[in-house]
Amino acid sequence: MDVDATIRAFVGSKLRLVGVKIIDEMPKDGTERPKKPLRYSKLIREAAQGKNFTVLEKDISDANPQLALGFYEPKYVDIQPRISPANTKAVRIGPIEGSDVVLMILNPKQVMELAQVFGPIDARFQGELGVEGEATALPYMGKKPNVSFLCNSARLLSGYLESEVILSMPTPDAQSLAEKIENQARHDGALCGCLVSDIPPQIQAAFKENGFEKGSDYFFGKVAGSNVRLYLEKDSNGRFSKITIHIPVKGQAEADAPFIVKARGNWSDIVGKFDPNEIGVDLHTGEGLKETIERLLQHVRI
């Protein structure tokens, strides 16, 4: 299961989930270190935009994150939260696979939606050591999720928006969350299509050019402000003969035919299945894809 794609598609986030691995031995040469020392909060932000890093103590530009991440023990005054004992030699930032904790840059509404699936989540924060302490050390040491409202330096110096917080959790919890999302979707009659890995690269590229990213068996993106999932189905001759458009909506929604609306707890699933040729979509080039969805969305009332 693609944990990143599943969770991001559910809440409609364009920022990648960031895995963090605490390493207690010096990494071998050839690791992806930053070109110059950066704030830890900045490294997480850049990883959410697609970069990967393995950082040593000297690659982190300020002392408090070095302390919170367990590179050394405090000498005079204890600082919490921090990783203890301080055996950290390096921190890998980026991939979820093999990580210890997963950080998600979200808005409060997205955190709420994930908590409704995962279950109760605590928020322990004090506006200090936001990314390195509250969002990394706390779930690493406590083995449970936490919500951090960040700190002034993260917002002023590392580019975090006023509307953003970080939901972080041990990697097994992130995997469990993704499984709950998938199980909920399948149990409540959501859709399935061809595995994206089985779809020709040309079609994958065409969808990406139209702003859709890859999930497990669907593509996801935003069109006219709505979260949209696209599923492709083959006929008996192996031709991609159907495209299903799925708009998950929080709360009640209405739609005209050919869409139908299915209730799913506090959600409404708006679903329509179409022949790509009949609605003017070329799957191989992506021509007409976004424009057609925008036109079809006029039949939807949220």
Dump pLDDT digits (tens) for 32-51. 889 999 999 999 999 999 99
Q: Which CATH number describes the domain made up of 196-301?
A: 3.30.1460.10
Q: Can you give the pTM of this predicted structure?
A: 0.69
Residue 29 predicted with pLDDT over 80: no
Dump pLDDT digits (tens) for 228-286. 999 998 887 788 989 999 998 888 899 998 898 888 777 888 999 899 999 999 999 99
The token pair that represents 196 in the structure block: 């994206």
Distance CA 62, CA 23 (A): 19
CA angle 33-12-215, nearest 5°?
Answer: 75
Largest distance between two CA atoms of the chain: 72
pLDDT at position 142 is: 97
* Cβ 188 vs Cβ 265: under 8 Å: yes
> Which residue has better confidence, 252 or 87?
87
pLDDT at position 287 is: 95
Q: Where do runs of H (alpha helix) occur along the chain?
A: 3-11, 40-48, 63-68, 108-118, 138-142, 152-157, 171-187, 201-209, 289-296
Residues of each domain in the chain carrying CATH 3.30.1460.10: 196-301
Dump pLDDT digits (tens) for 97-152. 999 999 999 999 999 989 988 999 999 999 999 999 999 999 999 999 999 999 99
The token pair that represents 28 in the structure block: 């071998």
pLDDT at position 189 is: 47
pLDDT at position 155 is: 94
Considering only CA atoms, which of 102, 83, 96, 103 is closest in space to residue 24? 83
The phi and psi torsions of 122 (rounded to 5 degrees) equal -80, 155
Dump pLDDT digits (tens) for 170-204. 999 999 999 888 776 654 544 567 888 889 999 99
* Cβ 130 vs Cβ 39: under 8 Å: no
> What number of other Cβ atoms are within 10 A of residue 13's Cβ?
19
